[in-house]
Amino acid sequence: MVLPFLSLYLREAKALTLAETGIILSLFGLGALAGSLLGGWLTDRLGSFTVQVGSLIGGGICFLVLKEIDTFEGLAVGFFFTTVVTDSLRPANSTAVAQYAKKENLTRAYSLNRMAINLGFAIGPAIGGFLAATDYALLFYVDGFSCIIAGLLFAAYFIRLPKNQSVSEEIEKKSFTTSRPPWKDWSFLFFILLVAAYGTVFFQLFTTLPLYFRDVYLLPENQIGWLLALNGALVFILEMPLVAKLENRVMVKYLVGIGALLAGAGLLLLNMAEGVIILILSIVLLSISEILAMPFMTTYTVQRADERTRGRYLGMYSVGYSIAFIVAPAVGTFLIQISGYAALWYILGIFSCVLAFGLYKNMADQRSVTIEVANTTQT
């Protein structure tokens, strides 16, 4: 609930400038980067259960504390440390999917996990828009306590649930890398840069698009919330059936490349015409982009790791998105200040064409991964 309205909260409730808002959003991303690395490292040492419980409960407490901070410096530090805690969940959660799923269900396990996340993102912004229109402080109360409750429920259910070792053994047997840390895997590191580039385009959805909706279309918080919730709803409804239809029919490199193109097209569309229908179509294109790109990027990452390095590989994968969350608001707010929204959409639209080609070439050069994904249909 906090993230979709963070830029509006900083601009309106805390009266920060556009430049200060961009700095805090970038620090939010920097904290996510640190949290992803920390979460991957801790997962390989403490296990996914401990990291997930600590992240959920600790993150909830952080949100409650953030509500009491008013200064720019305090908010910058507070949001940085909050995302360090909350984003340590990501590699631990992705690792847990492989630990608990049966091998014949691993494809749908990852897709179901994303489905749950997007159901949350369909509900969160819709409720968050109503809360923000009433009082921004309610966002932090509801988000904070929901994280704490989630952590307690998770701990109660999973504390004694046995893991399924067959998936771990199968992935380790099929992996073409053996205990090679991700920072020594140069092809994978280039892939992470491409992931960061994709995230820079896609994450305009959470950083500059809410500002665009307010500044250009003068939409209130509740309507902005519904627009953002549409993304989560579409991914929730469409991802699993689309993946089921495409996974054995289209090679992964094509799906990810088309996904990158659609992210740019969704932003470029905003310059082509005006009206609420255009805003909805933009969200639709961004949502389809997410469906085509993100599940198969996760697959690629899982297939490059073995049992002993999977947490660090998934942590590094999360780092790609964390870098994007640093770059996306900084680039977005800078270009808006010097050239306006239209220039931002044109630049990112053109950039996405170059990005799509880069992803296609990188994944095409790794034939063993592509063939493995095509055969096992992991998402």
Per-residue pLDDT tens for 315-357?
788 788 878 888 898 899 899 999 999 999 999 999 999 999 9
Statement: residue 212 has pLDDT above 90: yes
Task: Determine the pLDDT at residue 367.
Answer: 45
Statement: residue 172 has pLDDT above 70: no
Task: Determine the pLDDT at residue 313.
Answer: 82
- pLDDT: is 116 or 372 the higher one? 116
- The CA angle 99-105-108, to the nearest 5 degrees, is 100
**Does the structural domain 3-376 have CATH classification 1.10.10.10?**
no
Task: Determine the pLDDT at residue 163.
Answer: 62
Tens-digit pLDDT profile for residues 230-279: 998 998 898 888 877 776 666 778 888 999 999 999 999 999 989 999 99
What is the residue extent of each domain of the chain?
A: 3-376
